[in-house]
């Protein structure tokens, strides 16, 4: 059992408070990692001896990003669709069908390799915990291999057979498949079930049936809701006690109130909002009302082809009116809450004694630089489960 001391920390974000905006940022700090976990935190001047020592030279240290909404299992490219959107054409859920065709044609090896490429890209940028989904297979065999591919790269896997009704199958028949044989085939490989509750995808009653089937199979609940217009996604997620409702661009006052009085986390996806030219989700109003929020990339080939949590944090600060502390919290401990990993023995998203030692070093003295220097890749070193996966540069 060896201990590693990380010292010379200019500012240590611990996220030790359970709510957004109350997080501690300690100056002149040090931290000890032992057995993959945080073993000690305090002032650098009182740091204990350790087997090895890394001096980060006055840089900021914070928890690794917790990205709880991605769609990494896919094949193909939709840059032409993106260009057409930027030329003024609206995003429609039906674009998903293009990726379904390419994903069905790809081998499982190709799907795993592509997902691993994106997971590695995310890790280099400080993402130490990943959720990813199925949802581009949409037949029994393709969803099953998507679930296998997802579980080979992600910490948490979500079954999204109810993404759209694929072409060539009757709607009711497809719903029977998703809630029956497909669910049974993927259930051992996944943690959550999800449904795209939106015009062009699934209505409220169909979504309810999908979620209840998932719950009966022992899965947690997540919902894609209120992305392209006002709808029933948020209401349904809160009613069923879902862990998270994701997107939340079009919220009525009643949706915000419902979220504020629930345990459901509103997972906001600003990179997607910009890439689809949807209004940014009302993050400020949600926080002011007392709702729990998370920030995630929604990395996928259609609406949000980025793995950069830093971009999401900068957008949340610069355009969604969160403070830096609130945005960082939402991208770390807030996100961990949506997968029930914000507390307890396997907690991620905070740096407290006993938490998993997932952390990143910025090439900056403070987390404020994440938004103060937008577009500059600031993550310069990453530890995952206590092991350093990228080197600390010597110059600062
Ligand atoms: O989260 N909203 C539904 N699913 C994805 C879109 C995926 C796609 O267009 O391929 C999303 O944005």
- Check which CATH number belongs to the domain holding 44 and give it: 2.30.40.10
Provide the sign of the torsion angle of the four alpha carbons 17, 21, 26, 32, taken in this order.
positive
Q: Nearest residue CA, atom 3 of ligand 1?
A: 196
Residue whose CA lies nearest to ligand 1 atom number 1: 298
In total, how many domains does the chain have? Answer: 2
Find the 80 Cα to ligand 1 centroid distance in Å. 16
Residue 26, Cα to own-chain centre: how many angstroms?
26
pLDDT at 172: 98
The Cα–Cα gap between 125 and 14 comes to 19
Atom of ligand 1 nearest to the CA of 160: 4
User: What is the 299 CA–ligand 1 centroid distance (Å)?
Assistant: 9
Q: Are residues 60 and 70 in the same domain?
A: no
Per the structure, the complete domain to which residue 368 belongs is given by: 3-64+344-388
Using the mean position of ligand 1's atoms as its centre, give its distance from the Cα of residue 194 in Å. Answer: 12
- Among the candidates 307, 335, 357, a domain finishes at 307
For residues 91 and 209, membership in a common domain is answered with: yes
Residue 332: inside a domain: no
Measured CA to CA, the distance from residue 8 to residue 304 in angstroms comes to: 36
Q: Is residue 224 part of a domain?
A: yes
Rounded distance from Cα 162 to ligand 1 centre (Å) = 12
For a ligand 1 pocket test, name from 92, 298, 305, 312 the mutation site with the most ligand atoms within 8 angstroms of its C-beta.
298
DSSP H helices in 153-252: 171-177, 183-186, 204-216, 233-239
Per-residue pLDDT, 18: 72
Q: How far is the CA of 225 from the centre of ligand 1 (A)?
A: 11
- Ligand 1 atom closest to Cα of 304? 12
Tell me, yes or no, whether 102 lies in a domain.
Answer: yes
CA distance 334 to 18: 9
Ligand 1 atom closest to Cα of residue 135: 4
Distance of CA 127 to the CA centre of its chain: 9
Q: Is residue 328 assigned to a domain?
A: no
Burial of 225 (0-12, 13-18, 19+ CB in 10 A): buried
Check whether residue 39 and residue 80 sit in a common domain.
no
**Pocket around ligand 1: residues whose beta carbon is below 6 Å from it?**
71, 95-96, 99, 196, 224, 227, 272, 298, 300, 302-303
Closest CA to 207 of 154, 153, 164: 164
Please list the pLDDT of the chain residue by residue as tens digits (396 residues). Answer: 699 999 999 999 999 887 776 667 999 999 999 999 999 999 999 999 999 999 999 999 999 999 999 999 999 999 999 999 999 988 776 689 999 999 999 999 999 999 999 999 999 999 999 999 999 999 999 999 999 999 999 999 999 999 999 999 999 999 999 999 999 999 999 999 999 999 999 999 999 999 999 999 999 999 999 999 999 999 999 999 999 999 999 999 999 999 999 999 999 999 999 999 999 999 999 999 999 999 999 999 999 999 999 999 999 999 999 999 999 999 999 999 999 999 988 999 999 999 999 999 999 999 999 999 999 999 999 999 999 997 655 555
Q: Report DSSP state, residue 70.
A: B
Which domain CATH number covers 267?
3.20.20.140
pTM for this entry: 0.97
Pocket test for ligand 1, best of 164, 277, 302 (most atoms within 8 A of CB): 302
Q: Whose CA is nearest to atom 9 of ligand 1?
A: 302
Do residue 111 and residue 226 come from a single domain? yes
Closest atom, ligand 1, to C-alpha of 227: 2
Picking from 288, 307, 326, the residue at the C-terminal end of a domain is 307
Distance 343 CA to ligand 1 centre (A): 29
Nearest alpha carbon, ligand 1 atom 7: 302
Do 201 and 282 sit in the same domain of this protein?
yes
* pLDDT for position 175: 98
Q: Domain check: are 38 and 71 in the same one?
A: no
Is residue 42 domain-shared with residue 79, that is, in the same domain? no
Protein residue closest via CA to atom 11 of ligand 1 = 303
> Residue 93 C-alpha to ligand 1 middle, in angstroms?
7
Cα end-to-end distance, the chain, whole Å? 31
């Amino acid at each position: 059992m060896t201990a590693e001391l990380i010292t010379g920390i200019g500012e240590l974000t611990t996220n030790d408070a359970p709510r957004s905006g109350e997080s501690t940022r300690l100056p002149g700090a040090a931290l000890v990692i032992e057995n993959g976990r945080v073993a000690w935190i305090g002032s650098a001047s009182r740091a204990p001896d350790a087997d090895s020592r890394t001096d980060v030279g006055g840089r900021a240290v914070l928890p690794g990003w917790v990205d709880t909404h991605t769609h990494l299992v896919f094949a193909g490219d939709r840059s032409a669709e993106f260009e057409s959107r930027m030329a003024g054409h609206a995003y429609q859920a039906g674009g998903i069908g293009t990726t379904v065709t390419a994903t069905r044609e790809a081998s499982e090896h190709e799907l795993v390799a592509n997902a691993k490429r994106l997971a590695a890209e995310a890790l280099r940028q400080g993402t130490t915990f990943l959720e990813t989904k199925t949802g581009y297979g949409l037949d029994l065999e393709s969803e099953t291999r998507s679930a296998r591919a997802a579980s080979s790269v992600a910490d948490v896997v979500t079954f999204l057979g109810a993404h759209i009704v694929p072409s060539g199958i009757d709607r009711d028949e497809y719903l029977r498949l998703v809630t029956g044989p497909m669910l049974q085939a993927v259930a051992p490989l996944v943690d959550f079930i999800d449904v795209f509750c939106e015009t062009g995808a699934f209505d409220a009653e169909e979504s309810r049936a999908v979620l209840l089937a998932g719950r009966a199979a022992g899965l947690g609940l997540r919902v894609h809701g209120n992305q392209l217009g006002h709808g029933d996604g948020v209401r349904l997620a809160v009613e069923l006690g879902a862990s998270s409702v994701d997107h939340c661009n079009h919220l009525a006052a009643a949706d915000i109130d419902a979220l504020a009085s629930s345990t459901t986390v509103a997972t906001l996806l600003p990179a997607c909002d910009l890439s689809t030219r949807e209004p940014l989700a009302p993050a400020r109003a949600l926080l002011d009302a007392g709702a729990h929020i998370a920030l995630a990339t929604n990395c996928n080939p259609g609406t949000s082809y980025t793995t950069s949590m830093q971009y999401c944090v900068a957008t949340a600060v610069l355009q969604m009116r969160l403070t830096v502390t609130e945005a960082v919290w939402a991208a770390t401990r807030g996100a961990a809450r949506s997968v029930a990993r914000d507390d307890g023995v396997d907690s991620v998203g905070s740096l407290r004694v006993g938490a998993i030692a997932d952390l990143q070093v910025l090439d900056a003295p403070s987390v404020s630089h994440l938004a103060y220097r937008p577009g500059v890749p600031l993550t310069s070193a990453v530890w995952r489960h206590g092991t350093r996966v990228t080197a600390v540069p010597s110059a600062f």
